Amino acid sequence: MFHYIWSLINWYLRPFIKWVLRQTTHMCELQRICYGKPSGAPRTYAVEYSLRLSRNADIISLISYLDDIANQCAITIRSERGILEEAIRTVLITKKINPAAHPDFSKIFGKCVELIWGYRQLCVECEELRQIQYDSGNPVHEDLLLRLWDLLMPYDPLDARITKQWQGIGFQGDDPKTDFRGMGLLGLENLVYFAQEYPSAATHVLTHSMHPRYGYAFAIVGINLTSMALRLLKDGSAKTHIYNSSKTLPSLRAFHQFYCYLFYEFDGFWLESKPNNIMEFSSIQKKFEINIRMALANPSTVFRINLSVDNI
């Protein structure tokens, strides 16, 4: 009830407060944010909030346009510049900002637009990958799976495509394809990226997963962490990390790196928890996710794997 009343008050008072501040500072709200907030998540969150609450028809139309192209995954290396220029031009005209008098605004605001709608597009891309089911008849899928084995077990060739050896890296049965049902190709790509880009960290974690007392199924846990990473991405919790870490348009690489951090940190968290058996996985993962969410609540948070092999 209190939240509803406050929202109502804010809805009616916000235009008046903005008008007063514009008269006293001679800058619109977006200018005050871009000049006054620290770069990364604090600034980008504030710009996003301001744009989403705008009642200006041109701004509302701009947001709808940006949402649509992000939903279509149409922001590419070729198209991005034109999209950003259109967004900046619309805001400069709508907010009556003189670019000659405020030369830094366009660059700062454009970066925020890149992050906001790059993140939205990343959510779409990840969900599309999740929906692609592993197909053993697809040579691309098969090559990716075999690549995972070669990266993790380079000195132990597979005896056959379907073999109990897969259980050695944490799959449930003789054929890993069934384990990807929930996370589709996204789960496989996450595992391959971790093993390929952070080989020392992946080997470190795989070795821990074979611990005689605190061991766990490496691949299955990895797929579960893909689910967690996607959940944090889609509900917006991961924005803090992505906004702070991305130097360019957020891409699948940003999600993969976020996942790698979660996997590496979960491994340490699991061992520190000293579980009695694998049945405690669900409760320990929930505690781990709570810790990650608490960290992401800090607007300055950025995650990096704390190893000498860190090549972010």
Model confidence at 24, in pLDDT bands (50, 70, 90)?
low
pLDDT in tens, 228-271: 999 999 999 999 999 999 999 999 999 999 999 999 999 999 99
Model confidence at 99, in pLDDT bands (50, 70, 90)?
confident
Mean pLDDT to the nearest integer, 184-195: 98
pLDDT at 16 over 50: no
pLDDT in tens, 148-164: 999 999 999 999 999 99
Q: pTM for the whole thing?
A: 0.90
Lowest mean pLDDT among 49-63, 254-268, 295-309: 295-309
Asked if 288 and 299 touch (Cβ cutoff 8 Å), the reply is no
Predicted pLDDT at 221: 97
Predicted pLDDT at 12: 46
Model confidence at 28, in pLDDT bands (50, 70, 90)?
confident
**Percent of the chain with pLDDT strictly greater than 90:** 82
Mean pLDDT to the nearest integer, 43-70: 95
Model confidence at 118, in pLDDT bands (50, 70, 90)?
very high
pLDDT in tens, 196-230: 999 999 999 999 999 999 999 999 999 999 999 99
pLDDT at 312 over 90: no
Q: How far apart are CA 209 and CA 261, in angstroms?
A: 16
HEC string for the chain: CHHHHHHHHHHHHHHHHHHHHHHHHCCCHHHHHHHHCCCCHHHHHHHHHHHHHCCCHHHHHHHHHHHHHHHCCCCCCCCHHHHHHHHHHHHHHHCCCCCCCCCCHHHHHHHHHHHHHHHHHHHHHHHHHHHCCCCCCCHHHHHHHHHHHHHHCCCCCCCCCCCHHHHHHCCCCCCHHHHHCCCHHHHHHHHHHHHHHCHHHHHHHHHHHCCCCCCCCHHHHHHHHHHHHHHHHHCCCCHHHHHHHCCCCCCHHHHHHHHHHHHHHHHHHHHHHCCCCHHHHHHHHHHHHHHHHHHHCCCCCCCCCCCCCCCC
Predicted pLDDT at 305: 77
